Amino acid sequence: MIEFLKQPWPWYIAGPLIGLMVPLLLILGNKAFGVSSSLRHICAICVPLRIPFFKYDWKKESWNLFFAGGILAGGVIAGLFLASGKAIDVNPKLVSEFSKYGITDYHSLVPAQIFNWQQLFTLKGFILMVVGGFFVGFGTRYAGGCTSGHSIMGLSNLQFPSLVATICFMAGGFIMANFILPFILNL
């Protein structure tokens, strides 16, 4: 059984399991699937200022913190106990393209040649980790939710703003991966 869990699950198993979270959350408690709102709850708990955005009954939404905590705990457990130790299977075309930028480590989900403490203090690392993190956080707030909230929950509820947000997420990802990231990796 453990060997089964150590293998990557195909999309036709993992996708429906994620998709089944939507009706499960709606049926069990009329809750919306999404993770980015948990940061707002944490700020409302920890920041005692009188900022109107953080003045709401966060205790009513505390289930979301347990949900996000479960995601984090699951990732830690999978990384520590279920990792196979084998290199991640990466498309050969991507391996060839990334090798032009000196990226050859595929033993984890994030290449260690880019994402490490030493790289954080370089221009390339600062742009990828700090500036990129800021844009993800800003975009999530500006869009009124994250990709999981809009693309999984919003689209299943036929919400037009979620369709627009998902199209923008996909367009932004395409532009980033094909035009901006190669420029940054050449720095």
pLDDT tens column, 39-72: 888 888 887 677 887 888 888 888 888 988 998 9
pLDDT tens for residues 140-173?
Answer: 888 888 888 898 888 888 999 999 999 999 999 9
Quote the CA–CA distance of 105 and 87 in Å, as a whole number. Answer: 8
Helix (H) or strand (E) holding 135: helix 132-143
CB 58 within 8 A of CB 41: yes
Q: What is the pTM of this model?
A: 0.77
Q: How many residues does the chain have?
A: 187
Which range of 8-17, 26-35, 150-159, 161-170 scores highest in mean pLDDT? It is 161-170
